[in-house]
């Protein structure tokens, strides 16, 4: 399962992560004015929160990074028929 950490001091409470997340992983702690992780198990690993966060407050672990397949030699060798 993907593990998400929000750096407490970095989060400015802008809620952009809440707006972008398609599976509502985050909630907003109004008292602390910060985003918190509520349903980590729902994270699909799209990394949109991480890309969007102005403070770079997110850290994802155990997620799969999609490779640039066109740089992968093994995959390239299978692509001939498409060219």
Partner 1 sequence: MPELLEQREQLQATMTFLGAIASGIEQAIGESANSISYLAGKRLGMQFSEHAPKTDDIEEALSFVGKVLQENDCLWQFEPFKVHNRPGVISHSEQGDEVMLVFRECMIRQSLFKFGHHQKGSLCNMMYGFFSGALKNIMGKESSLEILHAGENGCYKRLVVFKKS
Binding of residue 64 to partner 1 (CB under 8 A):
yes
Close Cβ partners of 63 (under 8 Å, ≥ 6 residues apart): 2, 43, 45, 47
Q: x/- site string to partner 1, residues 21 to 60, per CB under 8 A? A: -xxx--------------x-xx-xxxxx--x---------
Alpha carbon of residue 26 to chain centroid: 11
Give the nearer residue to partner 1 in terms of CB position, either 14 or 20. 20
- Using the contact rule CB under 8 A, the part of the chain among 4-12, 18-26, 29-37 near partner 1 is 18-26
Is the Cβ–Cβ distance between 35 and 24 less than 8 Å? no
Binding of residue 67 to partner 1 (CB under 8 A):
yes
């Amino acid at each position: 399962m993907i593990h998400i950490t929000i750096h407490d001091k970095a989060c400015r409470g802008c809620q952009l992560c809440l707006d972008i997340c398609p599976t509502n992983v985050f909630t907003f702690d109004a008292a602390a004015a910060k985003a918190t992780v509520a349903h980590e198990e729902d994270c699909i690993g799209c990394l949109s929160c991480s890309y969007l966060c102005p403070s770079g407050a997110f850290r994802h672990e155990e997620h799969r990074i999609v490779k640039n397949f066109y740089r992968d030699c093994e995959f390239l060798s299978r692509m001939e028929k498409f060219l």
